[in-house]
Amino acid sequence: MRFMLEMTINHSGRECYSQRDRSMASPKIPDMFLKALKRKQSTVTSAVSIDTKMASTEKRPKKEEEPENVKPEKNESESLREAESAVPVVTEETTTDLYSLVRDAEWRNVLEAEFKKPYIANIEKELEKERKVGKTVYPPRDEIFAALNITPLSRVRVVLIGQDPYHNVDQAHGLCFSVKRGVKPPPSLKNIYKELATDMEGFKAPDHGFLESWAHQGILMLNAALTVRAHEANSHSKFGWYTLTDKIISIVSKETEGVVFLLWGGFAHKKESLVDRKKHTIVKTAHPSPLSARHFMGCKCFSQVNDHLKNYGKEPINWGDL
């Protein structure tokens, strides 16, 4: 309306009209609309930028979000190597190779052929079964042949035969009638000490039942069965151990001279047939168990052993050296 009015009143303003007309043909956008447009563009640009950053972030691991002091996850091979270094690998050989547990060179030599026989493999198989089902076996594996490893064949002067290892915790350590230090002496051993006190002048019972010094003096302290399941007496008696220990007794009889075999109780008495009495001496008594102690007391077997050793020209046993 303003434009039409100016044309009517001021004809001379034609040029002004033309200029206004041109300016009106390209109208000026108000500032308020420009600011609104800029804000919209800025919002779109920011949104695109955020989307781009989020996509980039999703492709990269967020190290800044990892907890402190947490080591990077190991790959499978690294974890396996670490586990192997922390826990000893149990192989078939380390659990069943009995011959490897015989460390004395003399006994290894005379028993090598024996350990290749099938019954040894059966003993190993039975012990492996016990291990796999979680049964506790005494004595500890490395002490099964302690009697052989402590007393070489050439040093054997006396053979003391037991039937079965002690089957309670921390008792058996591979020597018959002996228990580890710190373990209360069992009833049979207490009776042994009582007889020693009356038989050997000056003997004083120790406060322990560890008889290893006897083995070092040449007493082969051999159980007929060399292992036992915890708390189950004679549980390994049918494994095949008797065949091996009979062989050991026979080797002593054959390969040595002037040895005294000390046999306590009916079970040990049966081993008499394995001994050549032309070369050796046998001392037989009742067993020191409380069940037969009244027959054992007063037998004076310890002094008898020493008398026979002297007759063979050998040093007597110092029974009190404990």
Across the strands, what pairs with 229? 137, 232
Q: Quick one: which of 212, 4, 251 has its CA closest to 110?
A: 251
Three-state secondary structure call for residue 115: helix
Give the number of other Cβ atoms within 10 Å of residue 301's Cβ. 22
What H or E segment, with its residue span, contains residue 83? helix 76-86
Q: Quick one: which of 262, 268, 289 has its CA closest to 188?
A: 289
Which candidate in 51, 142, 164, 321 is catalytic? 164
Query: For this structure, is 164 an active site residue?
Result: yes
CB 154 within 8 A of CB 106: yes
The DSSP line for 211-245 is -HHHHHTTEEEEESS--EETTBTTTTTTSSHHHHH
Residue with tokens 């492709």: 59
Q: Quick one: which of 217, 225, 139 has its CA closest to 174?
A: 139
Question: Which sign, positive or negative, has the C-alpha torsion 295, 296, 297, 302?
Answer: positive
Give the number of other Cβ atoms within 10 Å of residue 121's Cβ. 14
Q: Quick one: which of 293, 263, 283 has its CA closest to 188?
A: 293
Q: Position 319: which residue type? A: W
Give the number of other Cβ atoms within 10 Å of residue 127's Cβ. 20
Q: Quick one: which of 86, 226, 35, 69 has its CA closest to 148?
A: 226
Residue with tokens 């108000």: 30
Q: Quick one: which of 223, 218, 265, 219 has its CA closest to 246?
A: 223
Give catalytic residues, as residue numbers. Answer: 164
